[in-house]
Structures are given as C-alpha cells and as structure tokens.
Amino acid sequence: MTNRCVAFKNAAAYYRTLGFDKVTRQDAETAFKTLMATTPAGHVAQGAPYYKDAAVNAALKTYQDFLFKHIYVKAGELDRPIVIHTAVALHPALRFEYNNPLALYDVFQDDEVRKAATRFVFFHTGYPSHHAVASMISQFPNVFVDMSFYAKFPGVLEETYRAFLGLAPSEKVMHGSDSNNVPEEIGYCASNSRRVLARVLHDYNTYYGWTQADITKIADNVMHKNARRLFRIPEATRAS
C-alpha cells in the first residue's frame, strides 16, 4: 500500500466484545438504515456511537459485526495483519468481557477469514487471559502476540514470556513497549524485555535442554525479527 500502512487496528475491546456473529448483507443494510434514522445518545472515546434504545444498539452490533468481518477479509487480501487490543489492568474502562480473547475462536475459524489467510496480532499479551492466548497462538498459524504495555512490569512480563514460549513457537511472540513518543519509556521497556527474556531463556538452556543456538534464535525472533517480518519493517541501512 502506497501510504505505508502496515496493519489495521481494532480497538473494539474498549466498548464491546471481540467476536462477531455472521451477518448477511441484507441484515447489515437493514441495521444501517435503523442507525441512520436514529440520533446517538453519545459516543465512546474511540468514536463509536451508542443509543438509548436496546433494539438500536442491537442493530449497531449487527452492522459492526458485518464491517469487522469484511475488514478482516480485506486485510488478508491486502496482506496486512489485524491488531486487536486484548488486555485488562489499571484502567477500569478496560473490562474483562470486552477483552476476552476466547470470543475470537470463531473469527479465526470463519471460512472467509481463513481463505483470506488474515493474520491477527493480540496486542498487550491478552493479560490476564494470557494462558488462553498461549494456547491460541500455538493452535493457529496466523495468530501472534506482542508484549507491549506489560513490558513496563517485569514480573508480569516474565510470567507472560514463560507462558508463550513454553507452548508456542518463538516466531509468534514479539517485544513491544506501547510507547511511541517517550524515548525513556521505549528504552526502559526494551531493557526490561532483554533482562526478563535472558532470565527465561537461561532457565530453558540450563534445565530444559535448549541449546545456545535455540535461545539465540528465540531472542532474535522476539526482540526484532518477528516484528520486521510481520509488519514489513526494513532492516536499517548503515551509511558507508
């Protein structure tokens, strides 16, 4: 894509569940007409409307479900991953029922989504459902996870690294900071990831029979290679 878009993000976990029901085009058009004829009661922080009438809110979900599926399919056709917010901590606006990754099982197995070979990335580890996420990234070849936000919390970071790397290939797990404009925060998160990952891999090398070549490969994958591959980030070129 000419505008350098590397992925599409779904932030629905702030205001609704992550799964979708199968919706026909006719039902989506009917729902859209209902929404266009009704004034929203307000909008959530992410811009999505909400309504006082439960029937209109049901129409909103129907229309959103239709859009989500078709955006997911289009992303696969464009070879761009879908990144999905999945985490609950600190802020009370983040609710367990909205961030439950299990709602995505049917999404990953939808026939049209599978045909499009759409790749999905769980942002923020899926905590506290990270054990479920570990199972899911081990089951689906097109599903990945990043460690952002929790890279700020070394204890939780270690717990999630152990869950993911103990079950899924290292090609499925990526470092992240959840910061894009604070150099100190980016550096702090990178330092945490290196120290925690080194501790985890030391144990695997010492107690579980992983070789030095194994843990070097894992460290490279997690810290930079997976992100470069998934988001098509070019290797930095050095000035001659």
- Asked if 158 and 192 touch (Cβ cutoff 8 Å), the reply is no
What is the 8-class DSSP label of residue 81?
-
CA dist 167 and 176 (Å) reads 20
E strand or H helix at 49:
strand 49-50
pLDDT in tens, 31-54: 999 999 999 999 998 889 999 999
Predicted pLDDT of residue 130 = 97
In whole angstroms, give the CA distance from residue 184 to residue 33: 49
Band of residue 2 on the pLDDT scale cut at 50, 70, 90: low
Q: Has this prediction a pTM greater than 0.95?
A: no
The answer to whether residue 233 scores a pLDDT higher than 90 is no
Domain boundaries, the chain: 133-142+151-234
Report pLDDT digits (tens) over 3-25. Answer: 789 999 999 999 999 999 999 99
How many Å apart are CA 154 and CA 190, to the nearest integer? 11
